[in-house]
Amino acid sequence: MPDLAHVIREISEEMAQRSDRGTVADYIPELARVDPKNFGIAVIDAEGQAFTGGDSDTPFSIQSVSKVFTLTLALGMAGDRLWKRVGREPSGNPFNSIVQLERERGVPRNPFINAGAIAVTDLILSGHEPREALGEILRFMQFLAQDASITIDERVAASEKRTGFRNTALANYMKSFGVIDNPVDYTLGVYFHHCAIAMTCRQLATAGRFLAHNGRIPATGHSVVSAERARRINAIMLTCGHYDGSGEFAYRVGLPGKSGVGGGILAVAPGKASIAVWAPGLDAAGNSHLGRVALEQLTQRMGWSVFGA
Ligand code: GLN
C-alpha cells in the first residue's frame, strides 16, 4: 500500500500551487473574507493516527458539514419518525432550491439540502430554548472531536442572519405546510449558528471517526450510534452530501462525503479512515473545488473508494 504520509505531503504541495481554486462563497458576506489560498487536509486512520497537510489546524466555518451531526442528533431523538418530515432521495437541485418544495408539499427531499437541514434543526429545537438546543449541538461536536475549545463564530452567524433571505423563505414555506413546529426565527437562529461552528480539519476528521467505524469512536470505545445507523448516514452522505454535485463526487471520489460552503468536506472511508479537507474556493454546485480534487487523488492512490480499487 502507498505510504499515506507521503501521499498527503504530495497532495498538499500540489494543492498549494494550483491556480484553479474556485470561487469563495460571498452570499454570506463574512465568508467572502476568507483567503482562497488556504488548503488543509487531515486523515485519521483506523489506529487513530493523524496524517495532516497544509492548513490543517486553521479553523474554518463548517457550514453544511454540520448537517451530518445535526442529522445524527435528530435521529437519536426521534428515530425513524424523522423520515416523516424529510425524505432521503437526492434532490438533483441546488442546495438552496425552493422549486421542489412546492411540488412536494413542503417536505424536503433529504436532510442535507438547506430545507431538509432546517427541518432537522427544528426537530432538535422542539421542547428546548434555542440556546439549549444550540448548546446541545455544540457539546456534541466538542465530544466527538474530543476538543472542548470548539466554538461558534458569532460574526459568521450574524452575517448569515442578515442576508439569509432564501433560508427564511424556505422555512416560512415549510411552516405553511406544518413541517416546522417552532417559530421560524428560533429555528433559523439555531440553524445559522450551527452552520457557523468553526473547526479545523484535524478536529473535523476526529469528529467523523464514528462514521468510519460502525458508529463507535475507536479511541474510547464509545458507541455514538448503532452500526446500522452509521451505515445509513453514510448512505445519505454518498447520495445527497454534495447536492446536485453528488453524482460527480461519487464518480470521482467514491466515498460518502458532506460539503459546506465554507469549503470544507468530511469524507468517510469505512473501516479505513475519516478525512477532512478544506479549500475555500467552490465549484458551480457550491462544493469545494480543490477539496474534491484532493480527495479524488487520495482515494485513487490509496484504493479507498467504496466501489473498489
Ligand atoms: N449556512 C449555509 C446556508 O444555509 C449552508 C449552505 C452550505 O454549506 N451549502 O446557505
Percent of the chain surpassing pLDDT 70: 100
CA angle 261, 89, 27 (to 5 degrees): 20
Q: Which amino acid is at 94?
A: P
> Is 66's C-beta closer than 6 angstroms to any atom of ligand 1?
no
Q: What is the pLDDT of residue 309?
A: 85
Atom of ligand 1 nearest to the CA of 192: 1
Segment 249-272 mean pLDDT = 98
CA of residue 136 to ligand 1 center, whole Å = 20
Q: Does the annotation count 67 as an active-site position?
A: yes
Q: Read off the pTM.
A: 0.98
Q: Which residue out of 155, 160, 193 has the highest number of ligand 1 atoms within 8 Å of its CB and is therefore the one to mutate?
A: 160
Q: Does the annotation count 27 as an active-site position?
A: no
CA of residue 212 to ligand 1 center, whole Å = 24
> Is 200's C-beta closer than 6 angstroms to any atom of ligand 1?
no
The C-alpha cell of 270 is what? 469505512
Tell me the average pLDDT of the chain.
Answer: 97
pLDDT bracket for residue 294 (50, 70, 90): very high
Residue 13 CB contacts under 8 Å (≥ 6 apart), including other chains: none
Q: What is the pLDDT of residue 287?
A: 98
> Is 286's C-beta closer than 6 angstroms to any atom of ligand 1?
yes
Quick: pLDDT tens for 137-166: 999 999 999 999 999 999 999 999 999 999
> Is 244's C-beta closer than 6 angstroms to any atom of ligand 1?
no
pLDDT bracket for residue 1 (50, 70, 90): confident
Q: What is the pLDDT of residue 11?
A: 98
> Is 277's C-beta closer than 6 angstroms to any atom of ligand 1?
no
Quick: pLDDT tens for 37-72: 999 999 999 999 999 999 999 999 999 999 999 999
| Partner residues linked to 23 by β-bridges | 282
Helix (H) or strand (E) holding 43: strand 40-45
Q: What is the pLDDT of residue 120?
A: 98
Q: What is the pLDDT of residue 47?
A: 96
Percent of the chain surpassing pLDDT 90: 96
pLDDT bracket for residue 116 (50, 70, 90): very high
Instruction: Please name which of 158, 156, 199, 62 lies closest in space to residue 117, comparing C-alpha atoms.
Output: 62
Secondary structure percentages of the chain, helix, strand, coil, to 5:
50, 15, 35
CA of residue 55 to ligand 1 center, whole Å = 22
Domains of the chain (ranges; CATH) run 4-60+200-302 (3.40.710.10), 64-197 (3.40.710.10)
Task: Decide if pLDDT at 223 tops 90.
Answer: yes
Quick: pLDDT tens for 224-241: 999 999 999 999 999 999
pLDDT bracket for residue 170 (50, 70, 90): very high
Quick: pLDDT tens for 277-291: 999 999 999 999 999
Helix (H) or strand (E) holding 61: strand 60-61
> Is 69's C-beta closer than 6 angstroms to any atom of ligand 1?
no
Q: Which amino acid is at 271?
A: G
CA of residue 3 to ligand 1 center, whole Å = 35
CA distances from 286 to 94, 105, 160, 282 (A): 8, 26, 16, 5
Q: What is the pLDDT of residue 137?
A: 98
Helix (H) or strand (E) holding 191: helix 184-195
95 vs 298 pLDDT, higher one: 298
Distance CA(281)–CA(277), nearest Å, equals 12
pLDDT bracket for residue 219 (50, 70, 90): confident
Q: What is the pLDDT of residue 27?
A: 95
Q: Does the annotation count 243 as an active-site position?
A: yes
Answer for the pair 207, 113: CB distance below 8 angstroms, yes or no: no
